[in-house]
Amino acid sequence: MEEWPMPARPFRPCAHIGCGALVRPPALYCPQHERQAHEEQRCYDRQRGNAAARGYDGNWQRVRARVLREQPYCEDCLRQGVATLATEVHHLNGNVRNLLRGNLRSLCKSCHSRRTVLQQGWRATKRRGG
């Protein structure tokens, strides 16, 4: 029996806002906007600083490990009746330097991303110029 080749992934629009060019995944940008996107990311990374400069130093790593050990399940999922292992620790007030236990929640990746977008999403959009 002859095997058929896998079909190519369909084209999708360039991720640059306002560009109508089509690109084939996994590419996100058309050739015209690829260089611009990489330069914007490099600029953002330079301004952002490394993890320690953002407050995620050795002390944070120890506190994070303790919180995950004390509460190994995602607190948001547990409220929904689902037991999901927590992999991340969320700062309720958004201040990464506030390591008080009452400010920290054990969350799975999905719940942490959702909370972060709700808490900081508008800042990220403004930073990107959207």
19-34 confidence digits (pLDDT tens): 989 999 889 999 999 9
Q: What percent of the chain has pLDDT over 70?
A: 89
> What does the alpha-carbon distance between residue 20 and residue 118 come to, in Å, rounded to a whole number?
29
Sign of the torsion formed by the C-alpha atoms of 50, 55, 56 and 59:
positive
Q: What is the pTM of this model?
A: 0.63
Question: Residues near 88 by Cβ (< 8 Å), separated by ≥ 6?
Answer: 106, 107, 108, 109, 112
- Distance CA(74)–CA(8), nearest Å, equals 38
Q: What is the mean pLDDT of residues 2-20?
A: 84
What is the spatial distance between Cα 24 and Cα 3, in angstroms, rounded to a whole number?
Answer: 24
pLDDT digits (tens, 9 = 90+) for 27-70: 999 999 999 999 998 998 889 888 888 888 999 999 999 999 99
Owner of token pair 């506030």: 98
